Amino acid sequence: MAVLEATQTRALPRTMLGWVPRLAVMAGLAYLLLVRMPLDEKFAPIYADAAIYAIVGLSLNIVLGYTGQLSLGHNGFFGIGAFSAAYALTVREVPFALTFVIAGACGALFALVMGVVALRITGLYLALITLVFGITLENSLFEVSWLTNSGAGQPANRPEWLYSDTRFFYFCLAFLAVAVYLDFMLLRTKSGRALLALKENERVAEAFGINVTAFKLLAFVLSGTLAGVAGALFAYRIGIVTASGLGFNLALLFVLLTVVGGLGSRVGVMLGGLLFASLDYVLHETWAHHVNDFVFRWDSAPQFAVGFLGALGLLLTIVKYPGGIGQQIRPITRWLAGGPFTLHDDRDSGPAAVEGSSVRA
């Protein structure tokens, strides 16, 4: 009982006064990230990308973070979402809102097919087969002429009220909010706890009466649905969908942002999305305006710098800091949530146990 009281008091600041600085910091961050930056039309597309990546990150987190299975084929689900939305809107003239349903359904369908196969193939082989799946879609389905407007790319024009990039960012943000909510609810349910149990030990989970195959399939389908919807958003973000840019590199980028963001950490994964969406722009800007002009010319550098830093971040995350960004910013997020500000990690209470999970766990 005493222990319980201790955790309860620790979860809240001692006085209501303690909330004042926390709310101030939260408001400041929210203003900066959700209002100040996206209102600049120059940054708005990057922020839209960040929101889209964050949705994919959450999607991959379900498979990789919760159930511990590696998918290198999420570019496939993402691409299917993008193409099906663009095709439905432009060729079949389906209403705009419905295209997201179609994209999600197509993503789910492909994930289901892939997942049925994956029931018999686990671990390393699953990583391999999803890799080949993604590459095959890129080279085959995404090159079929009726889908790609004879190879020119399938247009996906936003409706008039979404022309502004800032508005489109808020539109993506709404989707992200729904995705976060769904993810949050998923972990609250029996299914969510079953998924987490799978990651720890499949055999033990099975012994407790969890239908391992069914829940793996569920995780895959949920993940595919989210990735498909994110793909639809991406289609409207760029306006024309082609196979280029939907290849293995994209699958790697998704894995990067999820692992570097921090597996199992919602905030971390979303920050990973923001990081990798803006990295390219930041590097190009700093390089073009400062290093190339004043220090020395090195034109090929910015093109590869994202991959370099991303890969370095990934290796550091895996080898040294398994919790990723989510783990590193734990003191801040915990303080914002009302806890004390300490650098010591405690993973004792409820959802925090999920927050602290890692690639190596």
Query: Looking at beta carbons only, is 172 or 241 nearer to other proteins?
Result: 241
CB 55 within 8 A of CB 180: no
Query: Looking at beta carbons only, is 5 or 299 nearer to other proteins?
Result: 299
Q: Which of 109, 112, 121, 240 lies at the binding interface for other proteins (CB under 8 A)?
A: 121
For residue 40, give both structure tokens: 């600049």
Q: According to the binding rule CB under 8 A, does residue 295 interact with other proteins?
A: no
Which residue stretch of 29-37, 224-232, 269-277, 310-318 sits at the interface with other proteins (rule: CB under 8 A)? Answer: 310-318
Which residue stretch of 47-55, 125-133, 216-224, 348-356 sits at the interface with other proteins (rule: CB under 8 A)? Answer: 125-133
- Give 133's contacts (C-beta < 8 A, 6+ positions apart): 73, 76, 114
Q: How far, in whole angstroms, is CA 93 from its chain's centroid?
A: 29
Reduced to 3 states, what is the DSSP secondary structure of residue 155? strand
Q: Which of 124, 207, 295, 343 lies at the binding interface for other proteins (CB under 8 A)?
A: 124
Q: According to the binding rule CB under 8 A, does residue 163 interact with other proteins?
A: no
Query: Looking at beta carbons only, is 127 or 187 nearer to other proteins?
Result: 127
Q: What b/e readout covers 244-259, taking b as 16+ CB neighbours within 10 angstroms?
A: eebbeebbbbbbbbbb
Which residue stretch of 13-21, 23-31, 141-149, 181-189 sits at the interface with other proteins (rule: CB under 8 A)? Answer: 141-149
- How far is residue 217's CA from residue 116's CA, in Å, rounded to a whole number? 7
φ and ψ of 115, to 5 deg: -70, -40
Tell me the closest approach of the beta carbon of residue 208 to other proteins, in angstroms.
Answer: 21
Residue 264's region, left for phi above 0, alpha for psi from -120 to 50, else beta, is left
Query: Looking at beta carbons only, is 53 or 236 nearer to other proteins?
Result: 53
For residue 348, give both structure tokens: 């004792």
Query: Looking at beta carbons only, is 280 or 346 nearer to other proteins?
Result: 280
Q: Which residues pair with 6 in a beta bridge?
A: none
Q: Residues 80-119: x/- map of binding to other proteins (CB under 8 A)?
A: -------------------------------------x--
- How far is residue 113's CA from residue 330's CA, in Å, rounded to a whole number? 37
Reduced to 3 states, what is the DSSP secondary structure of residue 223? helix
Reduced to 3 states, what is the DSSP secondary structure of residue 241? strand
Q: Residues 223-262: x/- map of binding to other proteins (CB under 8 A)?
A: -------------------------x---x--xx--x---
Applying CB under 8 A, which residues contact other proteins? Answer: 68-70, 72, 117, 120-121, 123-125, 127-129, 131-133, 135-136, 138-140, 143-145, 248, 252, 255-256, 259, 298-301, 303-305, 307-308, 310-312, 314-315, 318-319, 359-360
